[in-house]
Structure formats: C-alpha cells, structure tokens
A and B are shown apart, each in its own frame.
Chain A
Amino acid sequence: MGLAGSLQQQHRQTVLEMVAAADGRHLEALSLAEAQWPSGAVYLLGYVAEMHLKAAYARLVFGRAAAIVEWPDLVDQAKRDPAWRLLLTTKAAGGVHSLTLWKQLLLDARARQPGLSPLPATVRQTSHDVVDWLDRNWAVELRYAAEFATMPEFEAMKMQVEWLTGAYGALVGES
C-alpha cells in the first residue's frame, strides 16, 4: 500500500496528532537548513504554520485536544456558517492554504468560545503581525521555484513560525 493510501485509512486524526505531525515537519525543516537547503526548509516551515493554525482552530471547534478531527464535519459546518462556506467555495478564500484566512477563522472561533477569557491584546496583535509576515513570504506555489530562499531568510521564517507554535496554548486558551 502506498503512503497516501495509508494516510486515507488513518484519516481519523486527533488534534494532538495534527500538532505532532506539524512538529515532525518542523524538525525536518531544521534538518534541511542544517544541510544548507534553506528553500526546502522555508517551504516546510510554511506548512508547519498552516498546520498549527488549523490544529488550533480544530482544538477550539472540537473542544479538546484528544478529539478526533472530523473534517467532513467541518464541511457540514460550512452549510451553517457563511465564513466557512466562503472559505470552501470561493476563489477569494484562496483555497484552504491561506494563512490569513485560517488566522481569521481561528481568532473568530476563539472570540466566540464560551467560558474562555479574551485573548490578550498583545497575543492577538502579534498573531496578526506574524501571520501577515508569513503570508507575505510563503505560498504553496513556492513548490514550483527551484531555489528561492537564503539562510538569513530561513532564520527569519523560523523565528516567525516558532512564535506561532509557541503561542498555541494561548491561542486555544490552555495557558
């Protein structure tokens, strides 16, 4: 069985497993950089950011870290929530890889979560700044570029992504 087929069988993934997968890609990005492959490292780091944003959103929507992320349920949610409908059906939404749109969905879910204290203003503002920086400097389409990043650019990307991964607890209200 191919790896992709295996993945489809394991589709029922928990939020914790999503975060663990993101952490795995993070370590692989660091290894690429250590081997002086900054473009591959930057490319993977973009996915690390995307996966953390999605995991944090799923954590809020499904209520606990051990919850199984049923993406079809989220598709059903699109039928009820105009923001989700827009994300999934429109070109404007930029597909499901737009870091800006996932950040907005995450902050929206955080604000609507009953029982959670408001997100500290500094965390909210830094989330805006970091994701804006990342969205300016990473896109899925970079896979078509042969060499596009330098080691200083990798270091800059790493700093932004690591702020985001470090803020996971605050974003989901666990710290």
Chain B
Amino acid sequence: MPVKRLAEVTTPEHDDLVSALVAEWRGETHHAEPTIILDEAVPGSGPSRVYVVWSRWEDLSPRERSGVIDEALRQVESDPARRAQVTITWGLTPADAKQAGLQV
C-alpha cells in the first residue's frame, strides 16, 4: 500500500494564482488586487518581507498562500541571493489586512 499524505497536498488553483500574481508583480496587469507590499529593512539589501493582500486567499491555508508567493518570487526574482533575503511571505485577505491595521 502506498504511503499517503495526511493532508491535502496543494490547491488546484495553485498554478493559476501563481500566474496571476507574477503578472501583477511584473506590472503586466493592473488589477485592483492583489496588492503586493514589500517591507524592506534597507531597500535593496538586508532581510525583507513580502505581504500579498488578495481576496482569492480566502479558502487557502497559510502554507498554501506562502507557497504561491514563494513560487511567484522565484519567477520574478532570478537572483537566488536576493530571493534568500526574503524571510516572510504572507498572504492576507483584505479583511485580514484591515484587522491587523496594515495600510494597503
């Protein structure tokens, strides 16, 4: 008997979400969402955080949200050293962001 996963592996929407996020990140699309917030200690260097505010996160777990952002980051940032400086990749719904007082 094959060893099964104990939980859902990934969302079926994963690839679609990554594509949409990459397009927005590269400026190829200009929708109201997602909003990508870069929180850099020192712009261009040092650790940085990426918050993505998006209604489409609603039914996704934190791991799935971070997985989508991580994959998009791999596509928009080709330099592994710069990618490694990104320490936090969190996905938030607009309601989450509002509740936490995050300015969007």
Of the A-B pairs whose beta carbons lie under 8 Å apart in the complex, a sample of 20, sorted by A's number, is A42-B6, A82-B100, A85-B101, A86-B90, A89-B99, A91-B95, A92-B91, A92-B96, A98-B61, A98-B62, A100-B66, A101-B90, A108-B49, A108-B87, A132-B63, A136-B8, A136-B9, A149-B6, A152-B3, A153-B3
Question: Size band of the A side of the interface?
Answer: 35 or more
Chain A's closest residue to B92 (CB) is A92
- Asked if B32 lies at the interface with its beta carbon under 8 angstroms from chain A, I say no
Separation of A93 and B61 alpha carbons in the complex (Å): 9
Known: A100-B66, A150-B3. A90 touches B99 (CB 8 A): yes
| Chain A: minimal CB distance from B59 (Å) | 11
- Asked if A137 lies at the interface with its beta carbon under 8 angstroms from chain B, I say yes
| Chain A: minimal CB distance from B67 (Å) | 7
Q: Which of B4, B65, B100 has the most CB of A within 10 A?
A: B100
Separation of A85 and B63 alpha carbons in the complex (Å): 18
Which residues of A come within 8 Å of B, CB atoms?
42, 82-83, 85-86, 89-94, 98-101, 104-105, 107-108, 111-112, 121, 124, 132, 135-139, 142, 148-150, 152-153, 156
Q: Are A156 and B93 in contact (CB under 8 A)?
A: no
Separation of A86 and B3 alpha carbons in the complex (Å): 35
| Chain A: minimal CB distance from B73 (Å) | 12
- Asked if B76 lies at the interface with its beta carbon under 8 angstroms from chain A, I say no
Residues of B within 8 A of A98 (CB): 61-63
